[in-house]
């Protein structure tokens, strides 16, 4: 991590990890990594004003699938920086990529991705990404 420039990523968020997120094996529970992914994803959705659009149009993104490759355990206390970017934008979906970097370990401790699909919540079916969101997503394309 010593040579990682977080400014090279379209999205980054630093946060302290929480003692309460450790499990009986004294490391941060694996499910919590998905919350870290969600935290940075929500930052992007807020910037794109997606939540306002969902309220007025009943159309928005859902995570269709997600995965995480764990590289090293996290242990309290530590601070992490989660970086993210968008890839493979298509008519109804896009992929978000993630990396979680431990400050104390000075390395990437997890990598993951999510397939995000736009959904018309009135019908329960996928739908095209709205034009404003599609245009806004371009600002988040990139990463390593």
**Domain annotation for the chain: domains and CATH numbers:** 6-17+26-140 (3.10.129.10)
Three-state secondary-structure class, residue 73? coil
Give the largest CA-CA distance in the chain: 48
Per-residue pLDDT, averaged over 80-90, amounts to 96
The band of 1, judged by pLDDT with boundaries at 50, 70 and 90, is low
Kindly give the interhelix angle for 30-47 and 50-57, rounded to the nearest 10 degrees. Answer: 80
Model's pTM, two decimal places? 0.92
Dihedral over alpha carbons 16, 96, 116, 100 (to 10 degrees): -30
Give dist(CA 73, CA 87) in Å, integer: 27
Per-residue pLDDT, averaged over 29-56, amounts to 94
């Amino acid at each position: 991590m010593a040579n990682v420039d977080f400014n090279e990523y379209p999205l980054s968020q630093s946060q302290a990890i929480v003692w309460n997120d450790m499990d009986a094996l004294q490391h941060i529970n694996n499910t919590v990594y998905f919350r870290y992914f969600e935290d940075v994803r929500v930052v992007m959705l807020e910037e794109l004003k997606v939540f306002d659009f969902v309220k007025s149009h009943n159309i928005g993104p859902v995570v269709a699938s997600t995965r995480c490759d764990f590289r090293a355990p996290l242990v309290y206390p530590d601070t992490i920086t989660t970086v993210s970017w968008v890839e493979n934008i298509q008519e109804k979906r896009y992929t978000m990529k993630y990396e979680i970097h431990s400050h104390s370990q000075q390395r990437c401790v997890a990598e993951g991705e999510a397939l995000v699909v736009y959904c018309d919540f009135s019908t329960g079916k996928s739908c095209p990404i709205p034009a404003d969101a599609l245009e806004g997503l371009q600002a988040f394309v990139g990463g390593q």
